[in-house]
Amino acid sequence: MASALEDDDISTDDYYSLLNVRREATNDELKAAYRRLCMLYHPDKHRDPELKTQAEQLFNLVHEAYEVLSDPQARAIYDIYGKRGLDVDGWEVVERKRTPAEIREEYERLQAEREERRLQQRTNPKGTISVGIDATDLFDRYDEDYEDVAGGGVPHVEINRMHISQSIEAPLTTKDTAILSGSLSTHNGNGGGTINLALRRVTSAKGWGEIELGAGDTHGPLFGMKIFRNLTSRSFVTAQCGLQFSSRGVRPGVTTVLARHLDKNTMGYLQWRWGIQSSMNTSIVRDTKSSHFTFAVQLGIPHTFMMMSYQYKFQDDDQTKIKGSVKSGFFGTVVEYGAERKISRHSVLGATVSVGVPQGVSLKIKLNRASQTYFFPIHLTDELLPSAVFYATVGPLVFYLAIQQLIIRPYVRAQKEQDLEKQRESSASNIARKKQEAESAVLLMQESVRRIIEAEESRMGLIILNAWYGKFVTDNSRRHERAKVIDVTVPLQCLVKDSKLILTEATKSGLPGFYDPCVGEEKSLKVLYQFRGVMHQVLSGDAEPLRIPKQCKRARTAVNTFNS
């Protein structure tokens, strides 16, 4: 389980970084790091009253870190809850006699309870808006007979169908949930709506049951039941039955689905449906980190078909996916291809081109924004026209690139800057405190650093010539941005021991003499050092471990390499 320190706010002191030890550090490693810092910060070593006061504050902080990490129970709570868990309320959560493993189990149980209470306070709204557009006039107007039609000079594009649906969930108890949903649909001027209420109860860890009541102006009242049950750890079954009342009488329907894990990433499904549209369907779905594959066969009235689809997932920050599918049956054959991409923190935009016989060519655009879906199917032509396929493919791509450059990127950049500014404001007082502590630590290190340098020079060991920590600007396109770095030459030299500098895998802003000069931004550590009379340079990420000297990392011999 990830440490709570990773999610804690910036006011939390990272004790591991302060002592410069691994998160798996043994008691001997903790003791050695503690003794080293005690020798540096012990108040009795400083005669100046101001330095003595500063040393006492830092000494107490180091002592606090050691006391926590050397105590198994306190360390377990700190690893899970962060520094806040060490307060009185945090200690009351668990018994002192519990082992670290038991503390973690207790934490997971409390987290589950908090999550359950949080879910009970949410309605979890979901909605879909679909707008069908008939744009066949854009391509059919070029037919030879079209010129004889009055007004044929201007293409006619119209909205011929709309569908709106919305649902909300209201947890009643820890096991019972009410789901209210409704929808409105219209097609060529005719339409109707429905409203449904479902009550779901979790009967056990293996299953749940649901009762549904509905009414509409086109289909009449509806009564249905649904059951879900885990048969084994690798298989489950769902059964659904319903009664649809209308002017033509009662129409019953039954649907059963049996699913089984074929392997870690593959599911197999068998579906049987009886009612207005009876069918049998079998499908195999394989979902991995980099791809998604589906193969399905259905025998039914009136739909019998075979379908195969494949989706490739790029491993990038935008979660880009490209997909293609082919579906063939008694209705004809349809080939679809498309792509989708994350355009902001909560939004995903996708486009799919559908080419079929006898369906023609269509373009489907979908935008997912949080729990809302906006769908725009655009019917371009009833025939297979190369021009329609070309514009359906190229048009959305050109439009997306233009929107990306003119709207999306500026918006995301502005949003990021706004979030950073809020983070800086909320942490301003803590950063000021950390900066003062760092400056005090540097003053207290001066004498120790002088002795370390003398010892290292006598054996041609490791000398830190220059060291900077923060945000560096190296991209020419970002030269207008200002570098935000602090000089950490003295703190790094103070950490040198036996001609070696070893930094653990933790954020470097918590090291003695360091602080965060650019909250919320990516930081690096740049070091120019001399070892055996030869200068070297190394650049390390904020949370990357670092070991100096690196024999394979020889730097330029010019000091001006540190221009930022």
> CA–CA separation, 177 vs 197, rounded Å?
11
Confidence of residue 558 (pLDDT cuts 50, 70, 90): very low
How would residue 152 be classed by pLDDT, with cut points 50, 70 and 90? low
8 A C-beta contact, residue 490 and residue 449: yes
The full 3-state SS of 342-374, as one line of letters, equals ECCCCEEEEEEEEEEECCEEEEEEEEEECCEEE
DSSP code for 173: S
**pLDDT one-digit tens code per residue, 14-42:** 788 888 888 888 888 888 888 888 888 88
Q: Which band of pLDDT confidence, cut at 50, 70 and 90, is reported for residue 521?
A: confident
Instruction: Kindly indicate the confidence band of residue 200, based on its pLDDT and cuts at 50, 70 and 90.
Output: very high
Least confident of 109-123, 434-448, 454-468: 109-123
Residue of 145 and 356 predicted with greater confidence: 356
Digit-coded pLDDT (tens) for 203-222: 998 999 999 999 987 778 99
Q: How confident is the model at residue 562 (pLDDT cuts 50, 70, 90)?
A: very low
pLDDT at residue 447, rounded to an integer: 85
Pick the more confident residue, 123 or 553. 123
Q: Tell me how far the alpha carbon of residue 544 is from its chain's centroid.
A: 21
Q: What is the pLDDT of residue 292?
A: 96
Place of tokens 């902080």: 61
Q: What is the pLDDT of residues 100-132, one digit of tens each?
A: 666 667 666 666 666 666 655 566 788 999 999
Q: Which residues contact 229 (CB under 8 A, 6 or more apart)?
A: 206, 207, 236, 237, 238
Is the residue at 488 inside a domain?
Answer: yes
User: What pLDDT shows up at residue 405?
Assistant: 87
Output 487 or 92, whichever has higher pLDDT: 487
Q: Express as a percent the part of the chain with pLDDT over 90.
A: 38
Question: What pLDDT is attached to residue 511?
Answer: 87
Residue 10's pLDDT band, with cuts at 50, 70 and 90, is very low
Q: Report the alpha-carbon angle 270-274-276, nearest 5.
A: 130
Q: Which tens digit of pLDDT belongs to each residue from 404-426?
A: 888 888 888 888 888 878 777 77
pLDDT of residue 468: 94
Q: Report whether pLDDT(311) > 70.
A: yes
414: left (phi over 0), alpha (psi -120 to 50) or beta: alpha
pLDDT greater than 50 at residue 448: yes
Residue 507 lies in a domain: yes
What pLDDT, on the 0 to 100 scale, is given for residue 141? 60
The rounded mean pLDDT for the chain is 83
pLDDT digits (tens, 9 = 90+) for 471-509: 887 655 455 556 689 999 999 999 898 899 988 887 888
Proportion of the chain above pLDDT 70, given as a percent = 83
Q: What is the pLDDT of residue 555?
A: 41
Least confident range from 268-282, 401-415, 448-462, 520-534: namely 401-415
CA 236, 238, 239, 241: dihedral to nearest 10 degrees? 180
Q: Is residue 529 part of a domain?
A: yes
Residue 435: is its pLDDT beyond 80? Answer: yes
The confidence score (pLDDT) of residue 469 equals: 93
Mean pLDDT, residues 453-458 taken together: 91
Q: In the numeric block, which tokens belong to residue 528?
A: 């120019």
Phi, psi dihedrals of residue 485, rounded to the nearest 5°: -135, 160
pLDDT value, residue 239? 96
The mean per-residue pLDDT over the stretch 363-372 comes to: 91
Q: What is the pLDDT of residue 559?
A: 39
User: What residues make up the domain containing 450?
Assistant: 427-563
The larger pLDDT score, comparing residue 6 to residue 363, is at 363
From the number of C-beta atoms within 10 Å of its C-beta (0-12, 13-18, 19+), residue 329 rates as middle
Q: What is the pLDDT of residues 167-198, one digit of tens each?
A: 998 888 888 999 999 999 998 878 889 999 99
Using DSSP, how many helices (H) and how many strands (E) does the chain show? 11, 23
Position 93 scores a pLDDT of 46
Note whether residue 475 is domain-resident.
yes
Task: Look at residue 446 and tell me whether its pLDDT is greater than 50.
Answer: yes
Domain membership flag for residue 459: yes
Cβ proximity of 108 and 80 under 8 Å: no
The tens digit of pLDDT for each residue in 229-287 reads 999 989 999 999 999 888 778 889 999 999 999 999 999 999 999 988 899 999 999 99
The 10s digit of each residue's pLDDT in 325-347 is 999 998 899 999 999 998 877 88
User: Which of the pair, 304 or 15, is modelled with greater confidence?
Assistant: 304
Number of folded domains that form the chain: 1
Average pLDDT over residues 297-322: 91
In-domain check, residue 135: no
Is 394 inside a domain boundary? no
Q: Tell whether 74 is covered by a domain.
A: no
**Residue 8 pLDDT greater than 70, yes or no:** no
- Closest CA relative to residue 438, chosen from 512, 342, 524: 512
pLDDT of 7 strictly over 50: no
Three-state secondary structure call for residue 324: strand
